[in-house]
Amino acid sequence: MRAMLLDHPAPIPIAPLREAEVPVPEPGAGQIRIRVTHCGVCRTDLHIVEGDLPPRKTPVIPGHQIVGTAEAVGPNVHRYRLGDRLGVAWLNWTCRRCQYCRASRENLCDEARFTGYQADGGYAQYAVIDEAFAYPIPDVFSDPEAAPLLCAGIIGYRSLRLSEIKPGQRLGLYGFGASAHIVIQVARHWGCEVSVFTRGEAHQRLARDLGAIWAGRAEETPPHPLDSAILFAPVGALVPEVLRTLRKGGTLAINAIHLSPIPPLDYTRLYHERTIRSVTNFTRQDAEDLLRLSAEVPVRTAVEIFPLREANRALQLLKAAQLRGAAVLEIP
């Protein structure tokens, strides 16, 4: 099969992914082989390619926002049938026996494996997944529309929940890429007022088009103090700026698997029971809830489609913040 391989991490400007022919994977017990049609391009892929996250498998096929159809099944597969349209996300496998898994916090499992990191992902014509970690795609979405939901959407939804935002309250989104452009639609569905902080004028226009009451740069002040905020940009220096806009008792959820250093904080920024919390991965329940909610809204994803061989270019544009919405690879 055709795939884009990462042999070793390197800066994305030098295009470290190479196109290669590799064996088609065979499904084992409880596994499904998916014929991939589309795979979303995520900032986590960029962190893996550039080595911000330490290598766990070499070489590896990146990609964890996979949409395709079940083409083959191994023994003891019961949930899905051949031809079913399925999605695969970042969470690839958990032990299902540790204290975190037993407490419905499998996102914290110490033995968890992740798609496109410890297991080969979707920058390829085929991918294999345990049937327990595959998700039916709602009919309302086309394959490319569904791809960004499988990470940007799911982790954005978990961040929204952990921000403790309530319907009708004021929410701030710092950074406005693939995840934030989905989150704003859910938040508006809940009747929230949303302010968006982003440098790019095109991103500010998109935010307003999607219902933001205000859009500006991070150093600016929104019309009203925020009840909650989500930091999507992997920039630790923004944390004090976010806290500046939060009301007393407000919560900042940091949606980042990798973050540059947070500068020293003046305690007065955190005082009055403001909360900072990280967001780590997601659970299968998060995925199921987000896909169902997205179909109800319905969420509309803005996508730019690239052929598989242009995965390096898609990641380069992602790093340069030159995408409108989400990049999605079309698999030949």
The secondary structure of 14-44 as a DSSP string is G--EEEEE-PPPPP-TTEEEEEEEEEEE-HH
Which residue(s) pair with 103 in the sheet? none
User: Which residues of the chain fall short of a pLDDT of 70?
Assistant: none
Residue 157's φ and ψ, nearest 5 degrees, are -65, -45
Answer for the pair 230, 171: CB distance below 8 angstroms, yes or no. yes
**Fold match, 2-148+302-330 / 154-278:** no
154-278 CATH fold: Rossmann fold (3.40.50)
- In angstroms, the CA 159 to CA 55 distance is 26
Q: What superfamily does domain 2-148+302-330 belong to in CATH? A: Medium-chain alcohol dehydrogenases, catalytic domain (3.90.180.10)
Residue 66's φ and ψ, nearest 5 degrees, are -100, 135
Query: In 3D, which of 180, 316, 161 has the Cα closest to residue 251?
Result: 161
Query: In 3D, which of 17, 16, 38 has the Cα closest to residue 329?
Result: 38
What's the pLDDT at 177? 87
- Say how many CA atoms lie within 13 Å of 281 toward its Cβ: 22
What residue ranges do the domains of the chain occupy?
2-148+302-330, 154-278
What's the pLDDT at 323? 87
**Parallel, antiparallel or unpaired: strands 66-73 and 85-88:** antiparallel
Q: How many residues does the chain have?
A: 332
pLDDT in tens, 31-48: 999 999 999 999 999 999
Query: In 3D, which of 233, 232, 294, 279 has the Cα closest to residue 87?
Result: 294
What's the pLDDT at 186? 97
- In angstroms, the CA 156 to CA 154 distance is 5
What's the pLDDT at 298? 96
| Assessment of whether the complete model's pTM goes beyond 0.85 | yes
Q: H-type helices in the chain, by residue range?
A: 43-50, 99-102, 143-146, 152-162, 178-189, 201-209, 239-245, 267-270, 284-296, 311-319
What's the pLDDT at 200? 87
